[in-house]
Structure 1
Amino acid sequence: MKRTIVIIAFLIGFALPGFAQNASSLMKVIEQAFKERKAELLKPQLASNFALGVYSLPRANVAMDRILTHYAALDKLELLKEKKNKTGKILFVKFSFVHEKSSESVIYLDQQGKIERFGFFDQLFGIDINRPSKLMAEIPFVIEHKSIVLKVKLNNSDRELRIMFDTGADGMGMKKAVADEIGLKVTRQQNTNVVGASTQVSISGGNLIKIDTLKIANQNIAIFPTFRNDLDGLLGGNLLANYITYLDFDHSVIKLYSFGTFTYPEGGTLVPLDYSAGIPGIKAGIKLNSGKEIESDLHFDTGAAYPIILYGPSVNRLELTKDFNVAYEGVNYSMGHQTPTVSGLFEHVKLGDKQVSNFIGTIQSYSESSGNWAPGDGSLGLEIIRQFNCFINLAAHEYYLIPNKNMGNL
């Protein structure tokens, strides 16, 4: 017995210095990356689910590179203490900068010792995942022609705009006639993806968005040649990137909460959120009327009036039209581009442990000229989304979906 105790004590004594050395080695790599302003040094240390602010990989790498390139020079990085948690470990650290105040923060590691989050980086984006979340605004909406419509004002204009809330848009867009009327100034040109193609749009920078009591400053607005006659434009990412966004279809209101610790109500399902493409994505199990089942990556798109559309590149790759029973043919219109489609019964779509069954879904035709223009396999539209009251939490990279009074009403 005595020998066994001695051996165990020896092994524990041997393991602890190595464990501390791993954290010490990681700290040296982080310090070197800051001092040399090289994000490349950190990339091998990042977990696959690494996030910075609301961004996941690969966009998180771009944000990290900007911070290391432009932030104040680091003098030293100190490890204050370590603490294990359910998912790995937390390092409590102190950043000391040249000509700047020092900052104590945390680094979250997974079970393999890879970095999941830098608390310091998150704070630069206004996010503290450990701070209790607070209700910041309540925005009423109406649903018209299968769209969520908000009342919005811009800059110093008194004109009340009718804007579609579109989670498939990474920012705000407006038709040119309205942009000209309220005096938006073009600052640059940019390419953007639409369903079936890509197109170039003009961008107006530095705008102030006002929705009810909410104000969001320094926003870019894309200017479209045309848009729907009954609406002035759209917005989406402007809210999602700044708040936990709750779509309450039962009461026709969007509630915005600050990012932080948040307790969801009972009765829903938690579903991972992917933001690698700059718009929210959701994994969904789909069964077609051909009997074919696929695990798909869909855009979570309140701006789409249909239940689901599957994009041409994935339709071609997965041979989804094979044995699919077509109910009717059609055309999908998006920002002046049109692509042929076929529609028919989808047996179900499964989101987490919740399922919506027996609805008409759409499959986009594929042509070689369209290429692989879009990330993801398709788009989950408003007709499915409104079956749930939805929390969209980009900072935590998760949805929480609660079936509501619309469930089954397709």
Structure 2
Amino acid sequence: MQKQIIRNLLLALLFFFGKSSLKAQITQFPFEFNGKHLYIKVQANQSDSLHFIFDTGATGASIDSAVAEKTGISKENRKIVLIAGSGGVKNYTMALHQNLNVRGAVIKNVDLSLVNFSSLSTDIGVKLDGILGYELLNQYVTKLDFDRKIISLYNQITAVDTSGYTAIPFEFSKNILIPRFPVSITLANGETFTGKVMFDTGNTFSLIVSTPFSKYHDFDSKLGKTGYTVGRGMNSFTKDQLAVINSMSFDGFKFGQMSIRLTVNDQAVPKDGYLGILGIEVIKRFNVILDYKHQKIYLKPNQAYSTAFNMEELKVSLSAKESKEFLEKNKTRPGIKVTSSGLQYKILKQGDGPKSTMTERVSLQYTAKLVNGQKLWSTYDNNKPWVHRLDKTLEGVREAVLMMPAGSKWILYIPSSLAFGDAGDGDIPPGAAIIFEVEVLKSAI
């Protein structure tokens, strides 16, 4: 009898906790992902399902103005507000106190901005009915499974299996309700900078660096000018600068070379702290849990984590003048030494082995780049050192290696006169300076 009572009690507890777990997960549904945007189905009041972008960078919900008219979004309860976008400040009509339904998850009393999305729909090639972010995230713990293309919504974080995830605390700024946390980036010249980025699934790039941050740290001279492209804001188009960085890291995660964008704003005041925006090209490499109540993002590498970044959009524009300007500024930086030939170098590690001679074969590991960060060659890619006599390499490399004891690692900044000269060669523009990171493994073979 006692065993039967215990058995019934255990079954009751299992039933209770099973029901509690089901209640804790509000809903689960698929999302569309075209590599740039996440799309979900949303109902506004009693409308049919609408095509919304899910965007952690959206601090307010919005709906296409034409769709609002068709679906009978209330015309009585409206007001005009000013909303700041990348192109400036613009008036928007707000439909107040509306209800949204995301596959059974109800969000009440939402103020919807009425926006004409026709141009944006044309640009992205998808009929866009609206954008939803903070209102959903602030009410539900949200799990994005990029491997299975599924979103799950929960009432509380304790209902979510976070095993294998890394928890990253974040903060909101005073007026912008988008998660921020610190990341570090390393430029082509080896310098590393740390600042806070906004976690923005609606941004289609890897990283956008803010003008105040890039001005404060003089990125223009350290990256070299690469090229320009057009970015689209909600209100207008913007001009962005393209560049390449060596790596980016945060909370134990590290990514290698990637192209980035830098906003261009001549009126911006230099300022440290806020680095910029982390976009979907990085975010899509994780499965993500967003807990706004406790201000934590949970990240777990997914199947796309190790995929190389797409560098095709980077069209480098480099002139001989820009190489000369880079070298002029570089020679004044701490730790830089200059020889009589014009070769610049910085010692990262000084070995204690013998020095090489012109008649011996040497074993080198190296990475070569243009001053704007465009990678040329690297022996590290296949872990196969370069083994030759020094008369088979560039004059600038030869001069440096003859000074380097075995075991040394230096960064060389080689002017065109010690590299490929005014003619250039293949991917190397005329008059281009080259940056070599060289390690002497052995002085003789």
**TM-score with structure 2 length normalisation?**
0.58
Q: Which residue of 1 aligns with 2:388?
A: none
* Displacement after TM superposition at 1:241 (Å): 0.2
Q: State the superposition RMSD in angstroms.
A: 2.4
Q: 2:185 and 2:94 mapped to 1: Cα distance?
A: 37
Q: 1:165 and 1:303 mapped to 2: Cα distance?
A: 7
Which residue of 300, 306, 310 corresponds with 1:402? 300
Which residue of 178, 189, 199 corresponds with 1:279? 178
Q: 1:194 and 1:384 mapped to 2: Cα distance?
A: 23
* Contact 1:246/1:254, CA 8 A, preserved across alignment: yes
* Contact 2:157/2:291, CA 8 A, preserved across alignment: no
| 1:304 to 1:153, Cα distance in 2 relative to 1, 3 A | same
Which residue of 154, 166, 189 corresponds with 2:44? 154
Deviations 1:162-183 (A, max 9, x none): 1100000112112222222222
For 1:335, give the aligned amino acid: M
* Contact 1:316/1:366, CA 8 A, preserved across alignment: no
Q: 2:197 and 2:87 mapped to 1: Cα distance?
A: 15
| 1:295 to 1:372, Cα distance in 2 relative to 1, 3 A | closer
* Displacement after TM superposition at 1:214 (Å): 1.9
Deviating above 4 A after TM superposition, structure 1's stretches of 4 or more consecutive aligned residues are 370-373
Matching of residue 223 in structure 1 with residue 121 in structure 2 = no
Give the 3-state SS of the residue equivalent to 1:321 in structure 2. helix
| 1:289 to 1:151, Cα distance in 2 relative to 1, 3 A | same
Matching of residue 324 in structure 1 with residue 223 in structure 2 = yes
Q: Which residue of 1 aligns with 2:130?
A: 233
Q: 1:249 and 1:213 mapped to 2: Cα distance?
A: 21
- Greater C-alpha radius of gyration: 2
Give the 3-state SS of the residue equivalent to 1:153 in structure 2. strand
For 1:161, give the aligned amino acid: L
For 1:140, give the aligned amino acid: P
Q: 2:195 and 2:29 mapped to 1: Cα distance?
A: 32
Among all aligned residue pairs of Structure 1 and Structure 2, give the percentage whose two residues are the same amino acid: 25
* Displacement after TM superposition at 1:262 (Å): 5.4
Q: Which residue of 2 aligns with 1:254?
A: 151
Q: Which residue of 2 aligns with 1:136?
A: 26
Matching of residue 351 in structure 1 with residue 250 in structure 2 = yes
Which residue of 160, 169, 178 corresponds with 2:67? 178
Deviations 1:370-393 (A, max 9, x none): 6699x9431111110011111111
For 1:240, give the aligned amino acid: L
Unaligned 5+ segments in structure 1 are 1-130
| 1:262 to 1:214, Cα distance in 2 relative to 1, 3 A | closer
The answer to which structure has the higher strand fraction is 1
Deviations 1:308-331 (A, max 9, x none): 111222222232222214443112
| 1:164 to 1:262, Cα distance in 2 relative to 1, 3 A | same
* Contact 1:178/1:232, CA 8 A, preserved across alignment: yes
Unaligned 5+ segments in structure 2 are 1-19, 310-445
Which residue of 105, 111, 126 corresponds with 1:214? 105
Q: 1:225 and 1:367 mapped to 2: Cα distance?
A: 29
For 2:182, give the aligned amino acid: K
| 1:290 to 1:174, Cα distance in 2 relative to 1, 3 A | farther
| 1:267 to 1:303, Cα distance in 2 relative to 1, 3 A | same
Matching of residue 391 in structure 1 with residue 282 in structure 2 = no
Q: Which residue of 2 aligns with 1:84?
A: none
Q: 1:371 and 1:173 mapped to 2: Cα distance?
A: 31
| 1:197 to 1:318, Cα distance in 2 relative to 1, 3 A | farther
Matching of residue 295 in structure 1 with residue 194 in structure 2 = yes
* Contact 2:216/2:270, CA 8 A, preserved across alignment: no
Q: 1:219 and 1:237 mapped to 2: Cα distance?
A: 11
Q: Which residue of 2 aligns with 1:197?
A: 88
Q: 1:261 and 1:288 mapped to 2: Cα distance?
A: 40
> Aligned ranges for residues 59-208 of structure 1 at < 5 Å?
134-144=24-34, 146-158=36-48, 160-184=49-73, 185=75, 187-195=78-86, 197-208=88-99
Q: 2:157 and 2:282 mapped to 1: Cα distance?
A: 28
| 1:402 to 1:145, Cα distance in 2 relative to 1, 3 A | closer
| 1:166 to 1:281, Cα distance in 2 relative to 1, 3 A | same
**TM-score with structure 1 length normalisation?**
0.63
Matching of residue 243 in structure 1 with residue 140 in structure 2 = yes
* Contact 2:87/2:234, CA 8 A, preserved across alignment: no
